[in-house]
Amino acid sequence: MDFNLIDTVISVESTDATALMYFLMQSGGRYSTACRTICCRWPLRTCDTCSQNVDCIYFRVFSQELSNDPEAVRRHQKPPLPFAFSFFPDSQNCCLDCRLVVVGGAIHSLEFLLQGFEELIGCLEVGLCTRIRAISTRNYMGDVLSLGSTSHIKHPENLMVLSVSDIVKNRSWVHRSVTLQLFSPLRILSDKHQIRTFQFGLFIRSIIRRVTAIACCYGDCDVSADFKKLALLSHETRSVSESFTFSSLPGGSIKLSGIVGEGSFTGEFSDIIPFLILGSYLNVGKGASFGMGSYTLTMD
């Protein structure tokens, strides 16, 4: 499995970083509209009937077109969006760090996505958000490199395109213990109902579905793995300690409810670790593209 991604951070000044985070996590539709406003010459047309959609940057990023391969449609159904936001408020410094991971061919549309974000926050109340303070990118070691302070990238030489295979190679696969910390609510459905208690098996299966769908749709590669074996391994893990709760973010709608907290687990992780690592970039569960299901991974 291999595809490319970029890991960027947009630092936004705000008098209420937490309120801004709640707003952005519920702004998937607004963000899509803001991006379309930037480039669409015929806003009254629908994208699927527009004769220009083949060359349209908005359509390429947001269309989520079904594959021409029936097997790919059967396995992955509707493609996920080729990006994922995560939000980290720093109220003490009046700042919200907005992580934006972009994958595959959408990397070429980074400035377009940044411009859409700039458009979105530019429409907010003055008391909530002021301006973008900085935009940066991370390399394999996590070092932060400046790209500038506007949607127009001032330092393109600093932009790091990361290979998924190299990301995984740089991390050890041999671990018997992992610790997960959910920074934003995790929403996973089981039998069409949202789960209210953390279940490691469902968590892993959701990550595997998301990562393999992104690899197939945007990495032009399929994932060869024994998925039945992975499912069995995920259910054989043992909880060492857990402090997960079901919570709804203050001021948020039911769409911002889910499982938060942290837990440590032991088991055979060697085949699962690559998916856990990539999930920490791409988030997991419903609303993953706009900040839900964001987590960090520690391995011992």
Q: What is the pLDDT of residues 283-297, one digit of tens each?
A: 999 999 999 999 999
| pLDDT the model gives residue 122 | 84
Q: Can you name the CATH fold of 170-299?
A: Alpha-Beta Plaits (3.30.70)
| Exposed/middle/buried for residue 101 (C-beta within 10 Å: 0-12, 13-18, 19+) | buried
CA distance 260 to 169: 29
- pLDDT on residue 216: 83
Q: Residue 102 pLDDT more than 90?
A: yes
Least Cα distance to 89 among 143, 19, 149, 8 occurs for: 19
In the prediction, which pLDDT does 118 show? 93
Is pLDDT above 90 for 84?
Answer: yes
Please answer whether residues 61 and 31 qualify as being in contact, where contact means their C-beta atoms are separated by less than 8 angstroms. Answer: no
Contact yes or no for 79/213 (Cβ under 8 A): yes
pTM: 0.91
The overall average pLDDT reported for the chain is 86
pLDDT in tens, 177-208: 899 999 999 999 988 889 999 999 899 989 99
Q: What is the pLDDT of residue 283?
A: 97
pLDDT at 127 over 80: no
Task: Pick the most confident of 39-48, 100-109, 269-278.
Answer: 100-109
Reported as a pLDDT band with limits 50, 70 and 90, residue 69 is: low
Looking at residue 270, its pLDDT comes to 79
Q: What is the mean pLDDT of residues 4-10?
A: 96
Q: Indicate the DSSP class of residue 159.
A: P
**Amino acid identity at 257:** S
Task: Write down the H helix ranges in the chain.
Answer: 17-25, 28-39, 57-62, 70-76, 110-122, 164-169, 200-218, 227-235, 273-282
**Which of 31 and 255 is assigned the larger pLDDT?**
31
pLDDT band (50, 70, 90) for residue 16: confident
Domain residue limits, the chain:
4-164, 170-299
* Residue percentage of the chain with pLDDT more than 90: 50
Higher pLDDT, 47 or 210: 210
Q: Which range (20-34, 63-77, 216-230, 242-256) has the least confidence?
A: 63-77
Q: Pick the residue with more confidence: 92 or 189?
A: 189
Report pLDDT for 300.
74
User: With bands split at pLDDT 50, 70 and 90, how would you rate the model's confidence at 10?
Assistant: very high
What mean pLDDT is predicted for residues 111-133?
84
Q: Does the pLDDT value for residue 126 go beyond 60?
A: no
pLDDT of 36 > 90? The answer is yes
Q: What is the mean pLDDT of residues 169-174?
A: 70
